[in-house]
A = this chain, B = another copy of it.
Amino acid sequence: MSQTPLPYRPHNHRACVDQALADAHRICNDAKARLTPTRERVLELIWQSHKPLGAYDLLGALAQDGHNAAPPTVYRALDFLQQHGLVHRIASLNAFVGCAHAGHRHTGFFLICRACRNVLELSAPHVAEAVDQAAQDEGFAAEDTTLEIAGLCPACQQEGGHE
């Protein structure tokens, strides 16, 4: 159950990506939304990295494909993917990661390693509740929570990630 989280350990990454794409197809289908080739490719690129990618990283990767895209192409794909809960934007990095819980209601919550730059998405509901409660105590109607934690992942603490 409580084994090392996925991004931190080796795994069959092709299968991991394929699974994410299959899920995405299902989710979009259910929502009657169109997961077009560009959108799918952007999602695939994001999943392949398991690390946050900037919009211009994606733009570069598309260029490698021979797809001569301009910024709006990528930003539009990202908007779509975010709206359907398939990717998240990490505000503190200006970058995007695949959602680890696509299809399930959740308030994401990110552990960002400053050494290896892997990101782990948690969905600890009690944290979300504590946050919502604190907002409510101030009479504030919370709509969107950004919770991003920078630090060192278990692996990088070993190998002298200490500066």
Contacts and interface: CB of A to CB of B under 8 A. Distances in A.
Nearest to A122: B134
A115 to B, nearest CB: 10
Contacts of A144: 149-151
A105 interface: no
A147 to B, nearest CB: 5
Contact of A91 (B113, B114, B146): B146
B151 A143 contact: yes
Given A146-B91, A146-B149, A127 B134 contact: yes
Contacts of A33: none
Interface residues of A, number: 34
Main secondary structure of the interface of A (DSSP, over half): mixed
Contacts of A150: 142-146
Contacts of A5: 138
Interface in A119-163: 120, 122, 124, 126-127, 130-131, 134-135, 138-154, 157
B127 A140 contact: no
11 contacts: A5-B138, A113-B140, A120-B140, A124-B130, A124-B134, A135-B151, A142-B151, A144-B149, A144-B150, A145-B147, A146-B147
Interface of A: 5, 91-92, 109, 111, 113-114, 120, 122, 124, 126-127, 130-131, 134-135, 138-154, 157
Question: Which 6 A-B pairs rank lowest in CB-CB distance, beginning with the nearest?
Answer: A139-B154, A143-B151, A91-B91, A146-B148, A142-B151, A144-B150
